[in-house]
């Protein structure tokens, strides 16, 4: 759930079950990460970087990355467009704190067949920024802790991504990011030590989720 969301209102707590509730470092609203989706993260240090597509304002970089994401979807034969303005009816605090992320689209988030297919959020610290998001190419999976409008989910398309599918999609994603954002991509695989660190951190998150902002600030 989002950095600025009220934890008591973000989800229905007695319906979480074994799903860990984790506060992310960016804004936006709560969503359920499931094995049918892709997630992405782009981290940029803008200092001394000569690339207008990823060194501009928050609006400029959000637009550039959205256009790159749409080029990725086109390669998968998925037609899409980004939202130019957030809906006025869905800007209130009550909606922000309690409505799920995929209930509506904010500026520069991506729509396909009139439903949000990619949710993204960006955070800036000094000369750097992180933008990450959830790509629901297989539909949005339900979760009882979220008040989602089931008719808008495309949940019947939800299916777990196989390892082979993931690797193929990963290659397409990197190629399209490089092509559209004018970047040179060098693939790096985690070594055994790094993989073990990630595994331990993942287990820590499951046992002690990030519930307080102070943890994130540290």
User: What's the pTM?
Assistant: 0.85
DSSP secondary structure, the chain, as one string: --TTS-HHHHS-GGG-TTPPP---SS-S------TT-EEEEEEEE-TT---HHHHS-HHHHHHHHHHHHHHHHHHTT---EE-SS--GGG-SHHHHHHS-GGGS--TT-EEETTEEEEEEEEEEETTEEEEEEEE-TT-PPP-TTS---GGGS-GGG--PPPHHHHHHHHHHHHHHHHHHHT---------HHHHHHHHHHHHHHHHS---SHHHHH-
**What is the C-alpha to C-alpha distance for residues 155 and 192, in angstroms, rounded to an integer?**
36
101 is catalytic: yes
pLDDT in tens, 54-67: 999 999 999 999 99
Catalytic residue among 38, 68, 101, 118: 101
User: What are the pLDDT digits (tens) for 92-112?
Assistant: 666 777 788 888 888 999 999
Q: What is the pLDDT of residue 130?
A: 95
> What pLDDT digit, counting tens, does each position of 14-65 carry?
999 989 888 888 988 999 999 999 999 999 998 888 898 999 999 999 999 9
């Amino acid at each position: 759930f989002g950095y600025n969301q009220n934890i008591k209102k973000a989800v229905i707590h007695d319906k979480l079950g074994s799903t860990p509730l984790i506060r992310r470092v960016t804004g936006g609203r709560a969503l359920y990460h499931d094995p049918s989706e892709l997630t992405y993260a782009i981290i940029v240090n803008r200092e001394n970087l000569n690339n207008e597509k990823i060194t501009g304002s928050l609006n400029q970089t959000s637009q550039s990355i959205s256009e790159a994401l749409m080029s990725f979807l086109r390669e998968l034969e998925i037609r899409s467009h980004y939202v130019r303005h957030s809906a006025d009816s869905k800007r209130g605090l009550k909606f922000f704190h309690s409505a799920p992320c995929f209930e509506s689209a904010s500026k520069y988030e991506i729509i396909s067949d009139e439903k949000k297919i990619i949710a993204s959020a960006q955070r800036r610290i000094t000369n750097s920024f992180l933008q990450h998001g959830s790509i629901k190419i297989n539909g949005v999976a339900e979760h009882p802790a979220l008040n989602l409008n089931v008719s808008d989910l495309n949940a019947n398309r939800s299916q777990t991504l196989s390892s082979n599918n993931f690797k193929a999609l990963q290659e397409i994603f990197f190629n399209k990011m490089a092509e559209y954002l004018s970047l040179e991509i060098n693939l790096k695989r985690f070594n055994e030590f790094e993989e073990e660190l990630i595994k331990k951190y993942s287990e820590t998150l499951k046992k002690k989720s990030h519930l307080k902002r102070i943890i994130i600030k540290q």
